[in-house]
């Protein structure tokens, strides 16, 4: 009898163990049909993909498109027309007021030593910075961090440029992590410097590359604190300045920048939609940001995210895989210096009581896909991770919790899942926010594979929900 009971128990346990994964599989993991449909999506992208040619137009014919610029307005028109040509169910604009900062004449900077010798530096004003009002010449104090600055005696800082020279940490495999960590100097260095009586901030570019390209990016001031100019130095320039400072702590830097902030400008998010066949009220957003910094062509940041998002909808249409839930491609305005478009999108979604299932963003460049970063409750993350076998054959199977994206960030709490397109990150920060972020840096197949992986995820979300 003992043996029988034991045997029964063992059998029950075995049944339970084998039944559990089967039940999960039936709900979320995909059939052979899904696998075949996803193959069709990739086939269409690899043989007939249109995102690369769309990107060629956006970067080549329109180019850089900083918020408030005429090029940003042109890009809105282009986005609308391009989506209308896809024959979507609805294409529309969402009005949003955006900041309008202009760089003005190319910046100039040079180092002056005690013997009067000048070395010129490649610099770029940080976005949002005030100008110098002519030539601004001052001594320099170098620091590695905001904390080091805060600990310096006032006399060491007053009347000088604070030179923030902490490099990005090369030891992380994911470069975005190093970018995030080093970013405080760029974002709030000028305000911290001004608080201590400095006249400006010079910030080492946020890149692991050692070259002469300055990397711009957003910065902000603090209410009640004097607004002092802030410029990015190339990594080579930063190293040179640091070395010269060691030999001559009395050297000066002369900086000339004519950037300024003009009144806000009316702009738009561009939205294209395919209505869900079964659950039209449930919305899946897939997007990138249409604005870019003004120095390059905004190719990897974030032209690629825009064309991939539109391509995801085109791929569903071209393969006849009509989504069961509503799918929206959104080209967000003003990610770079305000995130007003992302905020507006979430605000309107809330005001209309929309039901957002998931939002996907591609804003890490158009490099070889790896997978997706997921921000959601653990149970929701598990559902998405269960689709891993469908992505693995395409090298896109890294599905894990992680940062999703800035534009979709404001949807947190409104959408069940926020998802970031994850691609190889080794080259992104070489060109990020520089004159080198141009179309020629984008590889056609990498870009199209990324769009296909986004379309495949949209397909699964639209079929199974979360
Ligand atoms: Zn971006």
Average pLDDT, the chain: 94
b or e along 230-269 (b: 16 or more beta carbons within 10 Å of the residue's beta carbon)? bbbbbbbbbebbeebbeeeeebbbbbbbbbebeeebebbb
Q: How far apart are CA 322 and CA 273, in angstroms?
A: 12
Centroid of ligand 1 to alpha carbon of 420 (angstroms): 12
Q: How many CA atoms, within 13 angstroms, populate the side-chain half-sphere of residue 30?
A: 24
Task: Note residues around ion ligand 1 (Cβ under 5 angstroms).
Answer: 301-302, 363
The pLDDT > 90 percentage for the chain reads 92
Centroid of ligand 1 to alpha carbon of 289 (angstroms): 6
Centroid of ligand 1 to alpha carbon of 54 (angstroms): 18
| Predicted local distance difference test score (pLDDT) of residue 9 | 36
> Which pLDDT tens digit goes with each residue over 151-176?
999 999 999 999 999 999 999 999 99
For strands 123-125 and 325-332, give the pairing.
unpaired
| Predicted local distance difference test score (pLDDT) of residue 156 | 97
Q: Identify the weakest region by mean pLDDT among 20-29, 98-107, 120-129, 250-259.
A: 20-29
| Predicted local distance difference test score (pLDDT) of residue 31 | 87
Centroid of ligand 1 to alpha carbon of 8 (angstroms): 59
| Predicted local distance difference test score (pLDDT) of residue 214 | 98
Burial of 228 (0-12, 13-18, 19+ CB in 10 A): buried
Centroid of ligand 1 to alpha carbon of 303 (angstroms): 9
| Predicted local distance difference test score (pLDDT) of residue 116 | 58
| Predicted local distance difference test score (pLDDT) of residue 22 | 43
> Which pLDDT tens digit goes with each residue over 290-318?
999 999 999 999 999 999 999 999 999 99
Does residue 97 surpass a pLDDT of 70? yes
> Which pLDDT tens digit goes with each residue over 357-403?
999 999 999 999 999 999 999 999 999 999 999 999 999 999 999 99
Centroid of ligand 1 to alpha carbon of 216 (angstroms): 12
Centroid of ligand 1 to alpha carbon of 234 (angstroms): 20
Centroid of ligand 1 to alpha carbon of 55 (angstroms): 15
Centroid of ligand 1 to alpha carbon of 290 (angstroms): 9
| Predicted local distance difference test score (pLDDT) of residue 414 | 97
Structure confidence at residue 340 as a pLDDT band (50, 70, 90): very high
Does residue 207 surpass a pLDDT of 50? yes
Does residue 28 surpass a pLDDT of 90? no
| Predicted local distance difference test score (pLDDT) of residue 11 | 38
Q: How far is CA 36 from CA 253, 276, 394, in A?
A: 62, 21, 13
Does residue 5 surpass a pLDDT of 60? no
| Predicted local distance difference test score (pLDDT) of residue 29 | 60
Q: Which positions ≥6 away from 205 have C-beta within 8 Å?
A: 213, 214, 215, 232, 233, 234, 235, 238, 434
Mean pLDDT over residues 13-23, rounded? 39
Centroid of ligand 1 to alpha carbon of 116 (angstroms): 41
Does residue 187 surpass a pLDDT of 90? yes
Structure confidence at residue 406 as a pLDDT band (50, 70, 90): very high
Centroid of ligand 1 to alpha carbon of 23 (angstroms): 40
Domains of the chain and any CATH numbers: 5-101+263-464 (3.40.630.10), 104-258 (3.50.30.30)
Q: Which residues are catalytic?
A: 335
> Which pLDDT tens digit goes with each residue over 127-144?
999 999 999 999 999 999
Centroid of ligand 1 to alpha carbon of 137 (angstroms): 33
Structure confidence at residue 117 as a pLDDT band (50, 70, 90): confident
């Amino acid at each position: 009898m003992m043996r029988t009971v034991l045997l029964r128990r063992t059998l029950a346990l075995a049944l339970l163990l084998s039944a559990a994964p089967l039940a999960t599989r039936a709900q979320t993991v995909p059939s052979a049909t899904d696998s075949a449909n996803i193959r069709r999506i990739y086939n269409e992208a690899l043989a007939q993909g249109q995102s690369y040619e769309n990107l060629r137009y956006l970067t080549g014919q329109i180019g850089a498109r900083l918020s408030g610029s005429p090029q940003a307005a042109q890009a809105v028109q282009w986005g609308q027309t391009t989506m209308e040509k896809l024959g979507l169910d609805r294409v529309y604009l969402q009005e949003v007021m955006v900041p309008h900062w202009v760089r003005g004449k190319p910046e100039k900077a040079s180092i002056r030593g005690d013997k009067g010798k000048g070395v010129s530096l490649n610099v770029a004003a940080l976005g949002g910075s005030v100008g110098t009002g002519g030539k601004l010449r001052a001594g320099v104090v170098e620091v590695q961090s905001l904390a080091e600055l805060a600990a310096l005696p006032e006399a060491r800082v007053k009347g000088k440029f604070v030179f923030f020279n902490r490099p990005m940490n090369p030891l992380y495999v994911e470069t975005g992590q190093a970018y995030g960590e080093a970013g405080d100097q760029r974002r709030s260095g000028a305000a911290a410097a001004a608080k201590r009586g400095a006249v400006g901030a010079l910030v080492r570019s946020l890149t692991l590359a050692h070259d002469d390209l300055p990397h711009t990016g957003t910065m902000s001031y603090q209410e009640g604190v004097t607004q002092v100019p802030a410029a990015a130095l190339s990594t080579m320039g930063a190293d040179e300045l640091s070395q010269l400072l060691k030999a001559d702590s009395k050297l000066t830097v002369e900086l000339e920048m004519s950037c300024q902030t003009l009144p806000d400008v009316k702009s738009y998010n561009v939205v294209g939609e395919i209505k869900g066949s079964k659950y039209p009220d449930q919305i899946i957003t897939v997007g990138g940001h249409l604005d870019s910094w003004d120095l390059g062509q905004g190719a990897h940041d974030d032209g690629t995210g825009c064309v991939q998002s539109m391509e995801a909808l085109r791929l569903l249409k071209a393969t006849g895989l009509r989504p069961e839930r509503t799918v929206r491609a959104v080209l967000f305005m003003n990610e770079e210096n305000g995130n007003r478009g992302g905020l507006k999108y979430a605000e309107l979604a809330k005001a209309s009581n929309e039901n957002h299932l998931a939002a996907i963003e591609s804003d890490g460049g158009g490099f070889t896909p790896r997978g997706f970063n997921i921000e959601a409750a653990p149970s929701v993350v598990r559902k998405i991770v269960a689709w891993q076998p469908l992505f693995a054959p395409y090298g896109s199977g890294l599905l894990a919790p992680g940062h999703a994206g800035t534009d979709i960030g404001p949807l947190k709490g409104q959408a069940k899942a926020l998802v970031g397109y994850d691609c190889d990150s080794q080259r992104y920060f070489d060109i990020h926010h520089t004159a080198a972020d141009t179309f020629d840096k984008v590889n056609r197949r990498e870009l199209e594979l990324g769009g296909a992986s986004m379309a495949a995820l949209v397909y699964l979300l639209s079929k199974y929900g979360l």
